[in-house]
Amino acid sequence: MKIVDCDYFVVGSGMAGLMTALHLSDKGKVVLVTKGRLQDCNTNFAQGGICCVADPSDTFDKHARDTMIAGAWLGNSAVVHEICEHAPEGIQDLVKCGVKFAKKKDGSWELTREGGHSARRIFHAGDITGEKCEASMIRSIRRSSVDVREQTIVIDLVMTKRIGIKGPNRCIGAYVLDKATGEICAIRSPDTVLATGGCGKVYLYTCNPDTATGDGIALAWRAGAKIENMEFIQFHPTCLYHPQAKRFLISEAVRGEGAVLVNKHGREFMKKYDPRGSLAPRDIVARSIDSEMKRTGDDCMYLDIRKKGRAYLMTRFPNIYQKCMEFGIDMAKDLIPIVPAAHYTCGGIQATTAGETSVPGLSAVGECACTGLHGANRLASNSLMEALVCARLTAVRLAGERGTGNGERGKMPDIPAWRIGNAVPPDEAVLVSHMWDEIRRLMWDYVGIVRTNKRLARAAHRIKTLRKEIRDYYFRYLVTPDTLELRNLAVCAELIVKSAQRRRESRGLHFTLDYPRQSKRPRQTVIEGYRG
């Protein structure tokens, strides 16, 4: 089996992964793998923008307070302040990569506002901010010394305990599968950084790309890492409702610029749920839309921004305007049909702002990590900010450990060849697709926007059975990308359900009819990593 050695091994090609790799590129040999193309990530689909205090009338304290309020006071205040205060450095990192954020005629930043924010502090590049950031970072990574390997999926992390090495258990790399050739090799490194994004595909309806199968979270859990607050899955309230509109979001910025939520008769309804109306945080807006749909029996609700006029809409939201027109919806004269959809994983691998996890040699950055920033609900556009800041802090920590000799360097232990045993090529791919569909549907039906003890118990029972079936299938047949994703998806589903069952209150994104009130004492939900 081929073994590739490097100083830093980064998994994932969104903003967190690319920026971590770029920061480390002059500190040693960096290998970056991604299971699709570099651009196949959530960052590429981000529309709204990136939070950063820049207006003289705004402050870091105001941003931090908005973040804590949106997170139902479950966030870590020190972490929130640290990340908000480091955001300007992250914006400059992107500017150095060539990102051109919108500016006013006088040369100052054209900041926008989104739900839950008390001020305009969103840097944007039109309504395709993520796409422009991703393209600029990809150009930078292509020019760097980073060894980029696309179409390469991680099978499992290599832990010293599992390969029979005595002493403290630590991560020394991973087994990976080249999707093009079917070859399995090992990437050996004293530092592995997971930047794999969230697990939106665990739900039947999601605006996430097909890559969002929770791989990093599942890999870390199997390696023994602590997982935190997985019950908090954010549902974006405004996903375009149209049979041909697969996972297309109507950005939060549309509401920030004046759109209001209405029913099919054009009547606004959000004020009866929250005094902030259509600018309430996402968890409140998503639950309100869900409630209205159930109350009326309608398939969707609507956004109304007709008052802004065609010229403004075509200039400020060119991509959204064009996409809506493709489906016969003219934002300037029509209501925009919307529904909530799974969007963001607020929990994940327990990690510091510098990426440190409970497993030596393993770091986590971005959506797959739980740093304490988001609490029970993510404030709009804080995700890319967190990715930028934590990528920089993680790189500084890792490079510093190497410089002071604190890192576990020197000769790396041998990694045994991947064993296939009696595994044979899979002959019934329909089993994988069936289990995939079953998990996503039961998660949507039983562990969605509104939960109950009974629904969670049903989900837990069925997922336990499915995980056993998936384990049997995994060991019986040769590994394939679909099998690996299904295996990871099932782990994330079980972690979400277990976390939801442990939280006996309603807070932020976790709303249960059995415990509708919020507890006086905020607490985190922590699940220990697998010890087998």
Residue 91 shares a structural domain with residue 226: yes
453 Rama sector, left if φ>0, alpha if ψ -120 to 50, beta otherwise: alpha
Q: Distance between terminal CA atoms of the chain? A: 25
Question: Which CATH number do you get for residue 213?
Answer: 3.50.50.60
Instruction: Pick the closest to residue 368 from 527, 195, 156, 171 (CA basis).
Output: 195
Task: Please check whether residue 275 lies inside any domain of the structure.
Answer: yes
> How is residue 150 written in tokens?
């696309």
Question: Which CATH number do you get for residue 435?
Answer: 1.20.58.100
**Per-residue tens of pLDDT for the chain, all 532 residues:** 999 999 999 999 999 999 999 999 999 999 999 999 999 999 998 888 999 999 999 999 999 999 999 999 999 999 999 999 999 999 999 999 999 999 999 999 999 998 889 999 999 998 899 999 999 999 999 999 999 999 999 999 999 999 999 888 999 999 999 999 999 999 999 999 999 999 999 998 898 999 999 999 999 999 999 999 999 999 989 999 998 887 788 988 899 899 999 999 999 999 999 999 999 988 889 999 988 998 999 989 999 999 999 999 999 999 999 999 999 999 999 999 999 999 999 999 999 999 999 999 999 999 999 999 999 999 999 999 999 999 999 999 999 987 644 445 567 899 999 998 888 888 777 889 999 999 999 999 999 999 999 999 999 999 999 999 999 999 999 999 999 999 999 999 999 999 999 999 999 999 999 999 999 999 999 999 998 7
Task: Please check whether residue 526 lies inside any domain of the structure.
Answer: no
Task: Please check whether residue 321 lies inside any domain of the structure.
Answer: yes
Residue 223 shares a structural domain with residue 255: no
Task: Please check whether residue 143 lies inside any domain of the structure.
Answer: yes
Query: pTM of this prediction?
Result: 0.92
Residue 239 shares a structural domain with residue 223: no
CB atoms within 10 A of CB 418: 16
Domains contained in the chain, number: 3
Q: Is 282 a catalytic residue?
A: yes
451: containing domain: 429-515
Residue 132 shares a structural domain with residue 191: yes
Q: Which of 170, 247, 282, 392 is catalytic?
A: 282
Task: Please check whether residue 411 lies inside any domain of the structure.
Answer: no
Question: Which CATH number do you get for residue 247?
Answer: 3.90.700.10
Residue 15 shares a structural domain with residue 73: yes
Task: Please check whether residue 422 lies inside any domain of the structure.
Answer: no
Residue 61 shares a structural domain with residue 84: yes
Residue 75 shares a structural domain with residue 219: yes
Residue 179 shares a structural domain with residue 240: no
Residue 439 shares a structural domain with residue 393: no
Residue 37 shares a structural domain with residue 24: yes
Task: Please check whether residue 506 lies inside any domain of the structure.
Answer: yes
Residue 303 shares a structural domain with residue 433: no
DSSP letters spanning 279-339 = GS-HHHHHHHHHHHHHHH--S-EEEE-GGG-HHHHHHHSHHHHHHHHHTT--TTTS-EEEE
Residue 261 shares a structural domain with residue 300: yes
Task: Please check whether residue 272 lies inside any domain of the structure.
Answer: yes
